[in-house]
Structure 1
């Protein structure tokens, strides 16, 4: 069986959760209090991770689909596992489409989206076909590039004095209700609840006893970073401009002008978003393949191509980027709690009930 180390798992969690998140100013419904909504959602995300780890510890050698079958039975659990595999594929498709839209808007305006999307999906499919160990090594290579690039962007923003703290005031102008509505379920679902995917990959971590500690630290670090990025974007653009911007981070970086020499840093942001989108789409694609393999018994290598074709074909269902974003941020985020909260919670309760029955019989 493939195995990865605890540091590799940590990098996978960090790069996956960051992913395409900086593409959007999340929590904008709360206006200048978006960072408070992010903080609430991040705290709730950690509680979800506690639940996922409790479930994982019941069968450390089982993946998500195996856990479904253990808790709900072979047929019902298998059906739920396949449903979750379809959801992973759908989420991967969304990232494929994000790459196509980003490239068309920011880089290759005359290149057809279908070519860009085909190329990035082929790269992702090749990585998936090589297995988890190769994928996490790719993540290890990309992580330093992403970390240095984000640090450089933040440093340049501070040097140029673009952030204005007044854009974050007044705090809680309209009370706590808008903040709560922005945080739940939208911000909890994306990105923090997406760590449910680790129920697929935790079984492959060699140091099983370290999984909980490493996961908590990694998720906490990502949460702090995402809250900080949210604050920076809001303090530069302000709530009005941030709410109408399709790519807020890109617009922020385009404002950097240093000594009439250093400007046009769009390429850095585009590189960061490509790295995040590639890692996220590949992880979701791989999770779908693992889940289908576990339920059906079809060889892993035979699942890669059909699922890839399904992802690529479905990426054309949305007619334009406005519709794509609306589906993703208004419709999808209302459905995804079924997979992130409802089904894992049901597993947790079923497991407790079984444990209780076993104790009753022995007594």
Structure 2
């Protein structure tokens, strides 16, 4: 089995959670108080991660599909694992479609979306075919680019004088109601997506460091996402950021200094491409891995059909408006089934006795 280090796990958590999140202004129904909703959701996300880690410690060598079978039996657990794998493929498709739409609307309006989506999926599929070790090394190479680019974007937004803290006022203008209403969707996306790490944790060499590294990385990303949420509101204002298709991109497009520093949106686009690539690749890898664990078929033989399945799904949504509606209004309502309900069910049921010896052996090893 391939192995990754604890620091590589941290890199993966950071880039995966950032992913496509800055593409949207989350919690915008709370307007200038969206950062409060993000903070509450981030705390809830850490609690959910604690639940996932407890499941992982029961069978350290088991992936998510195996955990379903260990807790719920071969047939029911296997069926739920397969459904979860298809769900992960659908989530990967959403990132593929985001790449296609953003490329068409911002950069290459003469290039068909189908070509852009095919190319990015081929890159993601090729990376996934090399295994988790190669994928994490690619993520490590991308990490400095992400940090430097975000540093440039944040510095220029402040230097250009676009940031106005008064746009965060009045605080709690409409009470806690809008804040609490926005929390469930924020828990589902992005923090609840940490459930996919149940596929990855078994590859980490330093088992005793998994929880510490995961918590630290997730806390760092949570604070960063809250900061970016505040920053976008301070630049665009709560009303404009709530209705803009891509708020971060729009904020960066406003930067113009000394009549020579323009078109900085390319920096934001690079950041979004990296985030979308990492997220779609990890979801693709996890989906193919879970199907392999469920069916017993080879992961490498399954990767191409899963990739083609994701590509085909990306054409089902007729336009970007429908894509956004499906993602932010419909899909989010089903996420708690896989992120909260099923993990809680496994936690309550407990591991079945016929697998107990196997899991104890993995824990000792």
TM-score normalised by L of structure 2 = 0.96
SS of alignment partner, residue 261 of structure 2:
coil
Residue by residue over 1:204-247, the C-alpha shift from the partner in whole angstroms, topping out at 9 and shown as x without a partner, is 00000000000000000000000000000001101111111001
Once the two structures are superposed, what CA deviation does each residue of 1:245-287 show, in whole Å capped at 9, x if it has no partner? 0011011001111122212101100000000000000000000
**Aligned match of 2:257:** 258
Q: Which residue of 2 aligns with 1:281?
A: 280
| Structure 2 runs not aligned, ≥5 long | 354-365
1:97 paired residue number: 97
CA contact (8 A) 2:14 2:217 kept: yes
> What CA distance in whole angstroms lies between the structure 1 residues aligned with 2:309 and 2:267?
31
CA distance in 2, matches of 1:292, 1:353: 21
Q: Secondary structure at the match of 2:258?
A: coil
Give SS of 1:49's match. Answer: helix
Aligned length: 355
Query: CA–CA distance in 2 between the matches of 1:87 and 1:263?
Result: 40
Q: Does 1:267 align with 2:250?
A: no
1:162 aligns with 2:135: no
* Correspondence for 2:358: none
- SS of 1:206's equivalent in the other structure is coil
Q: In the alignment, what sits opposite 2:138?
A: 138
Q: 1:42, 1:240 → 2: CA distance?
A: 23
Are residue 175 (structure 1) and residue 166 (structure 2) matched? no
Larger displacement relative to structure 2 (156-165 or 227-236): 156-165
Which residue in the other structure is 2:341 paired with?
A: 342
Q: Does 1:4 align with 2:14?
A: no
Structure-2 separation of matches of 1:263 and 1:173: 36
Segments of 4+ moved more than 2 angstroms: none
Report the alpha carbon displacement of residue 109 of structure 1 after superposing the two structures with TM. Answer: 1.0
Whole-Å separation in 2 of the counterparts to 1:72 and 1:244: 43
Counterpart for residue 215 of structure 1: 214
Inter-partner Cα distance in structure 1 for 2:161 and 2:350 = 54
| Separation of aligned partners in 2, 1:134 and 1:32 | 41
Unaligned runs of 5+ in 1: 355-363
Give the match for residue 359 of structure 1: none
CA RMSD of aligned residues (A): 1.3
Can you list the C-alpha shifts for 1:306-338, whole angstroms capped at 9, x where unaligned? 101100001000000000000000000000100
- Secondary structure of the residue that 1:336 maps to in structure 2? helix
CA drift of 1:155 comes to 0.7
Q: Scaled by the length of structure 1, what TM-score is found?
A: 0.96
Partner of 2:192 in structure 1? 193
Structure 1 residues 8-19: aligned runs within 5 Å: 8-19=8-19
1:151-209 deviation line (CA, Å, top 9, x unaligned) = 1110111111211111111111111011011011x100000000000000000000000
